[in-house]
Amino acid sequence: MLSVSEEYLNNEYIYATATESSVRASAASVIAEATAYFQDYQDDLSVYGMTPSYGGNMALAIVMGIFFVLSTGLGLYYKQWWFGTCFFFGCGLEFAGYVGRTVSAKDPVLVDPFLDQIISLTLAPAFIMGGIYYMLAKLCSIFGEGHSKLKPMSYAKIFIICDLVSIIIQAVGGGMAASAAANYENADTGTHIMVAGLAFQVASMTLFLYFWFDMCYSIYKVYRTSENPDDEFNDEFKDIRQRPMFNTFPVAITLSTLFVYVRCIYRVAELSEGWRGHLITEEIYFLILDSLMMCLAIVIMLIYFPGFVFGKDSHIPVKGFRLSRKKKEETPQPDGDKLLTDNNEQSATDKDSV
């Protein structure tokens, strides 16, 4: 290392003072080789196995910071408490993660910024999906439960619980891996637990996509076959279905979910290779399959923020709406007075019989 440093400094002096082009070219070649050696040496010492891009991660930190401010402000203004809270934590964790990577770009040997980014960026998508899962339950209420396999509240309970389980597993694994890394011990156990949490998240998202596409197809059939599609849906939310952004809202949810889905599959493959695998030490994969995917998923849901789609004063309770309007009309409802009269007559008959 010392000899390379001396050679580098000597050739820098030669390059600066030499007049012959051949001598300057030779010195430049030696300087380039020494620089590459220093970079390789730094990458070997780096906890990442490489040196993160300063400019790229700084730009992502700024973008995620803007997303964090926008999602928080919109959540408060439109009173979208669940969705806003999920995006508050999701975008906040994304921002914190890229701040950590930006710090690491200047000193990739530091452990704390590395742990910050690996834990934050691993957990953030679970919170983003928590907000999206709740939208499926709301859309189920808006169209009517007759067009989905489960009640609205069932969607909320199943997938939000799955999301929480995924977050807990990943947090436990991340904590174990962080503790091992801080003590320069083997982090394989924690890494495997993190992979299990990510795999569970991918599995729950796959199930979500099944129910989501099933409901979308059911609604599509109504629009395709019915002369008056709104007669088949929940009358209570007819005004919301006629809002300008509502018709393309399902497309936005689909795209956002698929972007997060791609990112989660990538992270499972990445961590499965270990901390010195090909995917984790080549930052271009991370920037495309993680950073870009999450940016696209978040920006789409900010453009289609529920407050814009449903309206500021809308109230869409997530509860069981058992039948579509058509089925309700076909189901006779008992008249309260008649039922009471029938019961009294039956009681009188019973007394006469006695």
Helix then strand count (H, E) for the chain reads 15, 0
Containing 344, the helix (H) or strand (E) segment is: helix 336-353
Looking at residue 320, what is its pLDDT? 45
Looking at residue 252, what is its pLDDT? 96
Contact 268, 202 (CB under 8 A): yes
Confidence category of residue 144, pLDDT binned at 50, 70, 90: confident
Looking at residue 354, what is its pLDDT? 37
Question: What's the chain's average pLDDT?
Answer: 82
DSSP 149: S
- Among residues 137, 85, 132, 160, the alpha carbon closest in space to that of 318 is found at 137
pLDDT above 90 (res 154): no
Looking at residue 340, what is its pLDDT? 47
Neighbours of 63 (CB within 10 A): 19
- Three-state DSSP class for residue 323: coil
More confident residue, 352 or 232: 232
Query: pLDDT per residue over 17-34, tens digit each?
Result: 766 777 677 767 766 665
Whole-number percent of the chain with pLDDT over 70: 78
pLDDT above 60 (res 335): no
pLDDT above 70 (res 60): yes
pTM to 2 decimal places: 0.78
Confidence category of residue 96, pLDDT binned at 50, 70, 90: very high
Confidence category of residue 8, pLDDT binned at 50, 70, 90: low
Q: How far apart are the first and last CA of the chain?
A: 110
- Torsion angle, alpha carbons of 122, 208, 151, 296, to 10: 70
pLDDT above 60 (res 348): no
pLDDT above 70 (res 55): yes
Looking at residue 16, what is its pLDDT? 67
Whole-number percent of the chain with pLDDT over 90: 45
Looking at residue 226, what is its pLDDT? 83
Query: pLDDT per residue over 204-246, tens digit each?
Result: 999 999 999 999 999 999 888 888 888 888 888 889 999 999 9
Confidence category of residue 156, pLDDT binned at 50, 70, 90: confident
Distance CA 159, CA 260 (A): 15
Contact 300, 252 (CB under 8 A): yes
Looking at residue 9, what is its pLDDT? 62
pLDDT above 50 (res 351): no
Confidence category of residue 331, pLDDT binned at 50, 70, 90: very low
- Say which residue the tokens 């010492």 belong to: 45
Looking at residue 243, what is its pLDDT? 92
